[in-house]
Each structure stands twice: as C-alpha cells, then as structure tokens.
Amino acid sequence: MNWIYIQNFVIFVNLIIIIYMFIKYTKRISYDQTLEILNKNVDLLNSVYRKQHSNDLKKMVELYSEVQTILKISNSSLISLLRYDYSKRYITLQFMFSINGSGEIVHESRLDKLPATSNILNLKILESECNNLYDLKTEEIKDIDPKTYQLLKSCGIEKVFFRNIRKCESSPLGYIAFSYNEDYEIDDRQREEIMRITTKISQLL
C-alpha cells in the first residue's frame, strides 16, 4: 500500500478520535487516555513514513547502479531515465535523472513536465514496442522536426537508442534513452545485456 494512502488513513482516524474525544469529554472520558492514542497514531505515521522513505532511497540507489551499468556497456555519452505521468487527458514526462559519459549524475532536463507527444523523438519512443531496443539518427528528423533537430545537434547528439519500459502488457511506465556523438552501432552482446538490465529496471520504477 502506498504510504500516502496510509498517511491519509491515519490522519482520518486521528480526526475521528478528536471528534470522539470532544463528544465524550462531557461524559468525563479520560483526556490522557485519548491523547495517548493520538500519540501512538502519530508515531505509527512517522514510522510508516521513515520506512517508505528508506525504501524509496534504496530503489533510487539501485536505479543509479543499473543505469550506470548500461552506460558502461553501451559506451554512450549520455543516458537518461524518464517516467510517464498519466492523466485522463494527456501523458507527461517525469524526468528522473541522467548520467553522462564521465559518470556525473544530472537531475535537470528540458524534457521534465513536457507532454510525451511534444516532439517527434518522444512520440516515436511512446509509440514503440517494449520488447525491443530502437534507434533514431538525428538527421532523420531534420526536415520533420527542426526544433528538436537543432536541440540534439547543439548537444552534439548524432544518434539515440531507446526502449520503453513496462512491467506487464499495459501502458509503459517510462523509457530509457542513451545518446551518442557519432553514428554508433550496438552489437548483439551489448543489446542482450541492455535488454536484460532494462527489464530489471522495470521492477524498480
């Protein structure tokens, strides 16, 4: 159960107890006893929060480790991990982090909070199957998406490999993309390892 739901439930229980205490106060119910219950519930909430925070931190460290492994295997200059944020009307991108060729972690991106259909590259990624690794050369979008083309060129990106990530057959959770400053080709061994690791990553998102 998500800790936010647990938190809301505990807060709701505390509110009920407060109302109960107010009603029963005229009947001389023990104030100290009610306060003790409230304190126990607050302690429970704090405990749940600390546990969830610890689990989230552990997952993030595992994600960093797996993505760094792909960086080494792929020999890419930059690798990025993004999640899809689904709403009733549209899908937006939630940028998680990038790691450059030097192993430096980046926590900011121009893609964060953008619609998943904001440009040709993101649209191709969203529409791609999850059971394969795909690539796109920067020159391929020169005439159909000049703005994205210029952005990629300004970053020295000539080619991008990507894979949608999902746990089951439902909508993808997000995607991983790694970039190159040249027209790089991934061999079968690299592809197999990258597919294996991205499958592990799907269990952490």
The answer on 86 and 48 residing in a single domain is no
Q: Is 126 within 8 Å of 120 (Cβ atoms)?
A: no
> Tens of pLDDT along 79-95?
999 999 887 788 899 98
Q: Which two tokens stand for residue 34?
A: 């009610």
Rounded CA separation 96/98 (Å) = 7
> Tens of pLDDT along 136-154?
999 999 999 998 899 899 9
Rounded CA separation 204/53 (Å) = 14
The answer on 126 and 47 residing in a single domain is no
Q: How far apart are the first and last CA of the chain?
A: 15
Rounded CA separation 43/14 (Å) = 12
The answer on 100 and 116 residing in a single domain is yes
Q: What pLDDT, on a 0 to 100 scale, did the predictor assign at position 140?
A: 93
Q: What pLDDT, on a 0 to 100 scale, did the predictor assign at position 26?
A: 45
User: Which of 164, 169, 160, 177 has its CA nearest to residue 132?
Assistant: 164
How many structural domains comprise the chain?
Answer: 2
Q: Which two tokens stand for residue 114?
A: 């953008």
Q: What pLDDT, on a 0 to 100 scale, did the predictor assign at position 190?
A: 94
pLDDT less than 50: residues of the chain: 1-3, 26
The answer on 153 and 139 residing in a single domain is yes
Q: Which of 59, 83, 99 is the last residue of a domain?
A: 59
> Tens of pLDDT along 14-26?
666 665 555 555 4
CATH number, domain at 102?
Answer: 3.30.450.40
Q: Is 194 within 8 Å of 70 (Cβ atoms)?
A: yes
The answer on 106 and 191 residing in a single domain is yes
The residue range of the domain holding 169 is 65-202
The answer on 190 and 91 residing in a single domain is yes
The answer on 138 and 75 residing in a single domain is yes
The answer on 112 and 32 residing in a single domain is no
User: CB neighbours of 151 closer than 8 A, spacing ≥ 6?
Assistant: 110
The answer on 195 and 95 residing in a single domain is yes
The answer on 94 and 51 residing in a single domain is no
Q: Is 162 within 8 Å of 176 (Cβ atoms)?
A: yes
The answer on 121 and 54 residing in a single domain is no
Tell me the one-letter amino acid at 41. N
